Structure 1
Amino acid sequence: SPCSAVRPALPGYLVLCLAVQAHSLASAQFSVTGPDHPISAVVGGEAVLSCHLSPRMSAANMEVRWFRSQFSAAVHLYRDGQDQNKEQMPEYRGRTELLKDNITDGRVSLRIRDVQPSDDGQYKCFFESSVSYEDALLELQVAAFGSAPDVFVEGHQDGGVRVVCQSSGWYPQPEALWRDLQGQHLPSDSEKISPEASDLFQIEIAIVLREESNQKVSCHVWNPRLDQERESTISIAGLFFPRVNPWMVSLWVILAVLAVLITLASYCSWRQHRAKGKVRK
């Protein structure tokens, strides 16, 4: 170093050395920048998270670490010019790749393959040189587009037909509703969301249809994160609706009339019997 040749007794040269060192330290400072919006990915697909240094400088000899909540639990680690797979979290092993084509310009990207619902959330992109370190926060939003709704008649209920709609394989939790032929929303009789394997969700909604109301309805299941929906329609034939047998109605009317007549006859007979008793006295 030029400063090593300068004697400490010379204050002018000492000031110069301090200025050179301060300039070197300042030039080593950097910031890390990531995207200013969430990165979207579909379950089973790929996600690419990118970040870069400002000002532009080479990161080939730096440590580049991707992690989530804990610094020591690495999603991916690059150090000493190579990937350090042994320090990687088990759930990410074999699924990540650091894209280093532009690492000499301070730009890197992390590719995550076979995206899982558990990958959803925040990540930190961390750079460390010999004199400085910085990081940037990124967000990955994972979504899964579930199955087409399965709509079927479950049975009779409350004088109508209970129709059920089921759909599975959604992430995050989906929303579901019924619509009539005119597209008007119909209130559900019940709704249930259940967790499935691999952190996915199943949804089930039900409605009771009556013959005088809607016989053709559609079930819509919607992923709010993807802003996409699946739809299935069902038509209920009139014969499925519970009907009242006219002969049964007539029978009940006759029985009711007979009951009234018997009551009146009994009362009249009692009155006559009472009247005869008074005459005899």
Structure 2
Amino acid sequence: MLGSRHPHSSAALLSAVLLLHIQAAVAVNFQVLAPAGPLSAPLGGTVLLPCHLSPALSAQAMQVKWSRVGQDIHVYLPNGSEVQGERTELLRDGIQKGSLALRIWNLTLQDEGRYLCDFQSNNTVGNATLELHVTSSGSDPLLHIGGYDGKQMNVTCLSVGWYPKPKVLWRNGHRERLTPSKEEKISINQDLFDVSSSVVVTEQSAPTLICVIRPGSPGPEKVSAILISHEFFPKVSSWKVGLFLFLSVCVCLLFLPACYLWRVQRAKRKSSNLTTKK
């Protein structure tokens, strides 16, 4: 009897093992991967936030949700429909390999922050976070000369429309750092930073002056330079001083006899008038 049941028991055991393997395959674990470092994108531009499964499983039957600060931005549902944001798009070309990147266009400063990419299947949940930085490259530095008194002048560097806050640096033609005469002024205009900084230039200063605006995030610096002519600080030659003194003495020497003659003539007229009256 036992021997006659053995083949049936083996078949049942084999079926159970296969069922377990199928269930294990269905309930396979996965990880959600996203870039570890922050992503940067320009204000008003477009950014692509990548996110994918490892191993590369199909996410077609999963729920995939992008959110920021606890608020859903874009959701893909297992039936293939989407709950879409105003400025978002989900790239579904790689969905069979578990890739669902989020595109955001017309970026604003409010889009900056930490994003959560969340995958949910029937048995497994996984997510990953990534950081987005929005940047704005301001205007080229504008150099303005003011406060000139013949001995020194103020040169001011102005630049507007930066995010995050930039740094203003001064150098001369020898690439030596210069100390500003005033603290760097920073104002906020529509959440963007405007900066200004000034240095004092004298006759002893190097003629070339360079203003550098260094962004607060990775990106190129903006530079402007000006050449201060020594004609702004005219030198008085010794022969000119001597000529000025000589002419002054001559004027004095001519003025004194003229005054004397004028007084003599005045006295004569008074005397003549008195004689006439008598």
TM-score, normalized by length of structure 1? Answer: 0.71
Distance verdict in 2 for CA 1:196–1:157, change over 3 Å: farther
Match for residue 112 of structure 2 among 120, 125, 142: 120
Mapped pair 1:194 → 2:193? no
Distance (Å, rounded) in 1 between the aligned partners of 2:32 and 2:117: 8
Q: RMSD of the TM alignment (CA)?
A: 3.1
Match for residue 77 of structure 1 among 75, 78, 101: 75
Residue equivalent to 1:232? 224
Residue equivalent to 2:139? 147
Mapped pair 1:166 → 2:165? no
Q: Which amino acid aligns with 1:217?
A: L
Distance verdict in 2 for CA 1:164–1:157, change over 3 Å: farther
TM-score, normalized by length of structure 2? Answer: 0.71
Secondary structure of the 2:50 match is: strand
Residue equivalent to 1:261? none
Residue equivalent to 1:255? none
**Structure 2 unaligned spans of 5+:** 1-8, 246-278
Aligned-pair CA distance for 1:238: 4.0
Secondary structure of the 1:228 match is: coil
Secondary structure of the 2:221 match is: strand
Q: Which amino acid aligns with 1:228?
A: P
- Superposition pairs of residues 8-87 of structure 1, within 5 angstroms: 20=19, 24=23, 27-28=26-27, 29-70=29-70, 73-79=71-77, 80-85=79-84
Distance verdict in 2 for CA 1:142–1:131, change over 3 Å: same
Residue equivalent to 1:217? 209
C-alpha contact (below 8 Å) 1:98/1:109 kept by paired residues: yes
Distance (Å, rounded) in 2 between the aligned partners of 1:238 and 1:36: 54
Q: Between Structure 1 and Structure 2, how many residues are aligned?
A: 227
Distance (Å, rounded) in 2 between the aligned partners of 1:125 and 1:59: 13
**Structure 1 unaligned spans of 5+:** 1-9, 251-281
Aligned-pair CA distance for 1:239: 5.0
Report which of the two structures shows the higher radius of gyration computed on alpha carbons: 2
Residue equivalent to 1:205? 197
Match for residue 168 of structure 2 among 152, 166, 176: 176
Secondary structure of the 2:143 match is: strand
Aligned-pair CA distance for 1:242: 9.3
Mapped pair 1:96 → 2:107? no
Distance verdict in 2 for CA 1:27–1:162, change over 3 Å: same
C-alpha contact (below 8 Å) 1:76/1:84 kept by paired residues: yes
State the percentage of identical aligned residues.
Answer: 37
C-alpha contact (below 8 Å) 1:157/1:208 kept by paired residues: no
Aligned-pair CA distance for 1:158: 11
